[in-house]
Amino acid sequence: MRQPQQRAYMQLASDAFDVAVPMAFVGRFHVDGADAPAADTTSILALTALTAAAQTLTTGITWPAVSRNVQVVGSAAGIAGNVTVKGTGFDGKAISETLALNGTTTVVGNVAFRTITEIDLPAYTNGATDEISVGVGDKLGVPFKLGVYEVLSAWLGGVKEGTAPTVATDVANMENNTITLNSALDGNDVDVFIVL
């Protein structure tokens, strides 16, 4: 696996004696509208019947077009148990996330998956009519391990967002670095300008 590049910061001379200040750079994170469909609960795994025993699925899975979080939902009240999603992050590292089902309430994950290779399902709760599905959320994975940063602006469909996006950061694990715009993606181009 290719190793990430180390950031090299140029220095600005200051007006103080013997003091230099690292330069900051503005990055434009862009996602095409075709790759940013609305959040859903079925695009990764369509409604799938649970059985009396836990299942491991490696087929019938559709990856998100870009690095995004996942969300899961059951078809009936009372459905419980854990769904574990496995795949890779933006940097190619193997990652996983376990989400606890909550009946017909959509459970939103936090990890951004670039690929999804396996989904582990629990046994049914109510009986053989129990089903679950998996889709994409609104959190976009970014190709940075963000530490000190500032979002200058976020644009959706060419319109500047009036409210700054929500940014999750993790300097150790790239998959935990996500940006969630204030407005739903809904198939619009996304542009976020970040000071790094």
Mean pLDDT, 10 residues at a time, the chain of 196 residues: 55 77 86 97 98 98 96 98 97 97 98 98 97 98 89 96 96 96 97 92
Q: Residue 43's CB: how many other CB atoms inside 10 A?
A: 19
- pLDDT for 196: 81
Residues 51 and 134 in one domain: yes
- Our count of domains for the chain comes to 2
What CATH number is associated with residue 58? 2.60.120
Q: Residue 184's CB: how many other CB atoms inside 10 A?
A: 12
- pLDDT for 8: 57
Residues 62 and 149 in one domain: no
pTM to 2 decimal places: 0.89
Residues 80 and 29 in one domain: no
In a domain, 136, yes or no: yes
Q: Are 77 and 151 spatial neighbours (Cβ–Cβ below 8 Å)?
A: no
Residues 70 and 110 in one domain: yes
- pLDDT for 2: 46
- The range of the structural domain enclosing residue 65 comes to 45-140
- pLDDT for 14: 74
